[in-house]
């Protein structure tokens, strides 16, 4: 495995935070529509897990899939950030050509198989990607990111049963941010520690703090090794927190200021920055310069690309409903053949 550059990881997380903040601003400017679910506060999970998934096989080798809070997972999986922002803008250059929007970022070229807006739906889709990996025997695995709220859907239980039974190479990553939309986990879920639910399905599982990326990477490394070995699924639970409301229409009034402030003391970016500064690998000035460079890149390149990209053509409204040029031998139509 190649040595992981911690400064690069820090820069990525700074980039992800700024990407979400900037998309918030674009939403307020009415340049981004629909729903917008932001990931700020949870960066260490997607960044750390996908870093370890990619560590030995590279970007785009394995499959990743998630729910609607999906921008950062897509970018870390290898989708160009420009295209993700253009998708939020609904542009033709967007990762889903403007047809998907915030909740449906796709980039199959790097095996990022989508964000889905039905809570719990990605569980079986991820197991299906893993079934294909197992069948095709090329060493791939599937990684499924979902929040704690999704675990109360029937798909969680049905999929865990089949994934375990069939020893599918799938890594489930539960981002336990304590809230299912606006309902605190104590009020929605009978078992608070999510990893304990996997005992019922004979799937190995563990719970870890989710704000320190090095803790996330360490936990992910052994879980990935388990899955890649062919031993079947693994379930990782990370305790984390989202700083903003569930979506743009949610100010998060159900949470106390004290609670939010307490979690912000454990900010994943600050934890790693402080560690690098104390180790002498980074100076305060370098960190500030890093933040400024990221801001400049997002404002001058990412946003500019989204702003200047063309809208989809209305004439293309029905494009992508069915395959464009299907094989006439099996699509038809019948021509004078009778019954």
Q: Which among 157, 32, 144, 29 has a CA at the least distance from the CA of 84?
A: 32
Burial level of 159, CB count in 10 A (0-12/13-18/19+)? buried
**Residue 50 contacts by C-beta under 8 Å, 6 or more apart in sequence?**
64, 73, 76, 77, 143
Which token pair is 4?
Answer: 């992981």
Applying CB under 8 A, among 98, 210, 233, 268 the residue interacting with other proteins is: 98
Please, what is the minimum distance in Å from the beta carbon of residue 235 to other proteins? 16
Q: What is the CA radius of gyration of the chain?
A: 21
Task: Please identify, using beta-carbon distances, which residue of 10 and 133 lies nearer to other proteins.
Answer: 133
Please, what is the minimum distance in Å from the beta carbon of residue 120 to other proteins? 9
Burial level of 152, CB count in 10 A (0-12/13-18/19+)? middle
Task: Please identify, using beta-carbon distances, which residue of 161 and 207 lies nearer to other proteins.
Answer: 161
Asked if 186 touches other proteins (CB under 8 A), the answer is no
Distances (CA, A) of 114 to 11, 26, 233: 24, 22, 20
Q: Is the peptide bond before 333 cis (omega within 30 degrees of 0)?
A: yes
Asked if 331 touches other proteins (CB under 8 A), the answer is yes
Applying CB under 8 A, among 20, 51, 107, 175 the residue interacting with other proteins is: 107
Burial level of 280, CB count in 10 A (0-12/13-18/19+)? exposed
Which token pair is 7?
Answer: 């400064």
Please, what is the minimum distance in Å from the beta carbon of residue 326 to other proteins? 7
Task: Please identify, using beta-carbon distances, which residue of 20 and 107 lies nearer to other proteins.
Answer: 107
- Site track 23-62 with other proteins (rule: CB under 8 A), x = hit: ----------------------------------------
Applying CB under 8 A, among 48, 128, 204, 233 the residue interacting with other proteins is: 128
The size of the interface with other proteins (CB under 8 A), counted in residues, is: 60
Interface stretch with other proteins, choices 35-43, 250-258, 300-308, 329-337 (CB under 8 A): 329-337
- ∠ at Cα 291 (290, 295), nearest 5°? 115
Task: Please identify, using beta-carbon distances, which residue of 124 and 209 lies nearer to other proteins.
Answer: 124
Cβ-defined contacts of 215-223 (< 8 Å, 24+): 216/44, 216/45, 216/47, 216/48, 216/49, 217/4, 217/48, 217/49, 217/51, 217/52, 220/48, 220/49, 220/51, 220/52, 220/53, 220/171, 220/173, 221/52, 221/55, 223/171
Interface stretch with other proteins, choices 29-37, 150-158, 181-189, 275-283 (CB under 8 A): 150-158
Element (H, E) at 97: none
Asked if 149 touches other proteins (CB under 8 A), the answer is no
Applying CB under 8 A, among 27, 68, 123, 263 the residue interacting with other proteins is: 123
Task: Please identify, using beta-carbon distances, which residue of 136 and 229 lies nearer to other proteins.
Answer: 136
Q: What part of residues 259-318 is at the interface with other proteins (CB under 8 A)? A: none
Asked if 135 touches other proteins (CB under 8 A), the answer is yes
**Residue 128 contacts by C-beta under 8 Å, 6 or more apart in sequence?**
none
Asked if 100 touches other proteins (CB under 8 A), the answer is yes
Applying CB under 8 A, among 25, 33, 109, 191 the residue interacting with other proteins is: 109
Q: What part of residues 76-95 is at the interface with other proteins (CB under 8 A)? A: 94-95
Q: Which residues bind other proteins (CB under 8 A)?
A: 63, 65, 94-100, 104, 106-109, 113-114, 116, 118, 121, 123-133, 135-136, 142, 154-155, 158-159, 161-162, 165-166, 319-324, 326-335, 337-339
């Amino acid at each position: 495995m190649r040595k992981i550059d911690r400064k690069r990881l820090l820069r990525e997380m700074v980039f992800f935070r700024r990407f979400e903040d900037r998309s918030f601003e674009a939403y307020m400017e009415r340049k981004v529509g629909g729903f917008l679910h932001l990931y700020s506060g949870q960066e260490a999970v997607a960044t750390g897990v996908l870093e370890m998934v990619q560590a030995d096989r590279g970007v785009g080798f394995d499959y990743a899939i998630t729910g609607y809070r999906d921008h950062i997972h897509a970018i870390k999986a290898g989708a160009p950030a420009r295209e993700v922002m253009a998708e939020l803008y609904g542009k033709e250059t967007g990762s889903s050509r403007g047809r998907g929007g915030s909740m449906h970022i796709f980039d199959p070229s790097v095996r990022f198989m989508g964000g889905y807006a039905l809570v719990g739906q990605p569980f079986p889709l991820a197991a299906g990607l893993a079934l294909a990996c197992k069948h095709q025997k090329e060493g791939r695995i599937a990684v499924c990111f979902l929040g704690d709220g999704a675990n109360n859907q029937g798909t969680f239980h049905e999929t865990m049963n089949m994934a375990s039974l069939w020893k599918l190479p799938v890594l489930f990553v539960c981002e336990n941010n304590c809230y299912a939309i606006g309902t605190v986990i104590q009020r929605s879920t009978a078992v608070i520690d999510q990893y304990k639910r996997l005992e019922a399905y004979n799937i190995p599982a563990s719970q870890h703090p989710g704000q320190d990326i090095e803790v996330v990477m360490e936990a992910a490394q052994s879980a990935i090794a388990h899955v890649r070995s062919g031993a079947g699924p693994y379930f990782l639970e990370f305790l984390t927190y989202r700083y903003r409301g569930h979506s743009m229409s949610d100010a998060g009034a159900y949470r106390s200021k004290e609670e939010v402030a307490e979690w912000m003391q454990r900010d994943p970016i600050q934890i790693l920055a402080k560690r690098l500064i104390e180790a002498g690998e980074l100076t305060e000035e370098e960190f500030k310069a890093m933040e400024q460079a990221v801001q400049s890149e997002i404002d001058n390149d990412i946003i500019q690309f989204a702003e200047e990209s063309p809208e989809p053509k209305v004439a293309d409204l029905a494009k992508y409903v069915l395959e464009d040029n299907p094989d006439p031998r099996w699509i038809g139509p019948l021509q004078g053949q009778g019954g």
